[in-house]
């Protein structure tokens, strides 16, 4: 169970990093690429599986 929560914390951390990069990014094409990755992390953090 503790492994599961470590996984969620890591996922949340990566999501925050992605979000920061997303807002800093000037090119909308790269923003789309980041957003596509973020969808997976949103579902994981919300524990929708």
* Chain residues that interact with other proteins, rule: CB under 8 A: 3-4, 7, 22-23, 25-26, 28, 31-32, 35-36, 38-39, 42-43, 46, 48-49
Which value, in Å, is the radius of gyration of the alpha carbons in the chain? Answer: 12
Which of 47, 39, 33, 32 is CA-nearest to residue 15?
Answer: 39
Q: Residue 7 or 13: which CB sits closer to other proteins?
A: 7
Shortest Cβ 23–other proteins spacing (Å): 6
Shortest Cβ 22–other proteins spacing (Å): 6
Which of 42, 43, 21 is CA-nearest to residue 32?
Answer: 21
């Amino acid at each position: 169970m503790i492994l599961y929560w470590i996984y969620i914390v890591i996922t949340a951390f990566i999501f925050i990093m992605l979000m920061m990069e997303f807002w800093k990014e000037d090119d909308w094409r790269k923003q789309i690429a980041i957003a596509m990755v973020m969808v997976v992390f949103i579902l994981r953090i919300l524990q929708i599986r």
